[in-house]
Chains A and B, each alone.
Chain A
């Protein structure tokens, strides 16, 4: 089972409900194992950032692949990226 490191930014000025999106993605992609611990080896780091500053994206990725979500991210692209993870 592929694992996703669900990484939230600190949330000082969020433009959308990050935990709600995280919960929605867990429901929509139940085929993946989700972790909130950086030290767990994951296949994808999914960073849910509250705004375009995307602070965590400045640091080195903690998985072979990373997808950064901000309030401007096209949700279709996000869902396509998560669907593609299974096929890889």
Chain B
């Protein structure tokens, strides 16, 4: 079985025995929980589109390892074209879900771990690359969703992992056994782990020799004994329990994040990809971050497409779509959104092969891409709110709209253009609310800022990659400067 249907995916997640907590209680069946289900639907879209001929070129690819058609989310990039197709696929999925579809992080972990294990083996004579390839072909054959877990809680940021008062603030190995290792710690902000079959764990920062026990990478099923997750709150999340369609803005799709605890989890030897080779932690982190910063040049653009469309519809419903000021705002939103896409495509087009043979993006351009993503969605959201007007945050509830007495009053006084229903006007405003300050703002705004590394992390990488000496030499040549 190389490709699962969406329904098969849902049922495969239902069969898992994950330990999930929400609002202080264990969730019996996360698949059917109204707060969690929209996030599952978003991942499901990665399976549904892969079944459709009109999306096959982006959603699937022939695996060079199995010879089978596999979902691109499980693929090891073989060319710059593969890298560009990845970005295009992400834009497509952003358009179809208006949410985080969660599967990118596993794909980015796949490609970072693939090349890092190869180079670790070359230096140390280890067998991590074979371990990873075995895991990778298993994932491709079963069409699994994989979470990539990098961010440790980190405690006191001024101290290295080994210097923390609590040694568990970075995930680490607590026991080496003949048949594997035991790990303890936690990973924060884990997008989509709830909807994943497996999790790849990676270190979160470059490490020195004194932090060997923290230099660990591995993969385990997410329902492995000792793993449990505490779901993060999202703005307006409990609206999903009201079983209304309008007030949630996007009733079908969403994202999800969790704090994931690894409480003495056993990892068998053949699932270990790094174990003590601390000098390779930085390589894994840098490559994963690079791929993930490229990703944002696709997924956020797709969500941006929906937000721009929503703003344009709101303008039409308000009867102001012909106003030059409104048209100019839509143009500005489009300009910003396509600039992000340009960066995603550019860092992919400049991609190059690693020693292991898979392709990696241009790190400078990928970091420029993400740096722009930390800013432009905020401006796009501001312009959308500007066009939408204050009603997007002051409109009455759907329950009021359906009320016998209040409904007609709302219909009368909140109507825009005469040929547009008040309900449709409220629907589009709620979608804008959802994307700019509701549950989806987690993904579209704050995740744009901090996901794949906060802005300063990109600035460090930009400084490192900028080749400033070359620029200085150029200036000196033009100015005919001769130095002794």
Contacts and interface: CB of A to CB of B under 8 A. Distances in A.
A6 B95 CA distance: 24
A66 to B, nearest CB: 14
Nearest to A49: B57
Interface in B44-94: 53-59, 81, 84-85, 88-89, 91-92
A55 B92 contact: no
Interface stretch (A9-17, A69-77, A78-86): A9-17
A8 B53 contact: yes
Nearest to A6: B53
A55 B85 CA distance: 9
A19 interface: yes
B53 A36 contact: yes
A18 B59 CA distance: 16
Interface string B124-140: 00000000000000000
Contact of B54 (A13, A18, A58): A18
A19 B91 contact: no
Interface string B242-267: 00000000000000000000000000
A55 B57 contact: yes
Given A55-B85, A55-B88, A58-B81, A11 B55 contact: yes
Q: What band does the interface of chain A fall in when counting residues whose beta carbon is under 8 Å from B?
A: 10 to 19
A9 B92 CA distance: 12
Is chain A's binding surface mostly helix, strand, loop or mixed?
Answer: mixed
A12 B91 contact: yes
Given A12-B91, A13-B91, A22 B54 contact: yes
Interface residues of B, number: 16
B59 A10 contact: yes
A79 B396 CA distance: 53
Top-6 shortest CB links A-B: A10-B58, A12-B88, A36-B53, A8-B54, A10-B57, A12-B92
Residue with the highest number of chain A CB atoms closer than 10 Å, among B54, B81, B95 = B54
Contacts of B54: 8, 11, 18-19, 22, 48
B53 A11 contact: no
Contacts of B59: 10
A12 B85 CA distance: 9
Given A8-B53, A10-B88, A55-B85, 19 more contacts: A7-B57, A8-B56, A8-B57, A9-B58, A10-B55, A10-B57, A10-B85, A11-B54, A11-B55, A12-B92, A12-B302, A13-B88, A13-B91, A19-B53, A22-B54, A48-B54, A55-B84, A56-B57, A58-B81
B15 to A, nearest CB: 31
B14 to A, nearest CB: 30
Nearest to B302: A12
B382 to A, nearest CB: 24
Contacts of A36: 53, 56
A7 B53 CA distance: 8
Contacts of A12: 58, 88-89, 91-92, 95, 302
Nearest to B89: A10
Contacts of B91: 12-13
A8 B81 contact: no
A10 B89 CA distance: 7
A63 B444 CA distance: 42
A88 B55 CA distance: 31
Contacts of B88: 10, 12-13, 55
A10 B95 CA distance: 13
Nearest to B60: A10
A18 B84 CA distance: 21
A11 B50 CA distance: 12
10 contacts: A8-B54, A9-B57, A10-B85, A10-B92, A11-B57, A12-B88, A12-B92, A12-B302, A36-B53, A55-B88
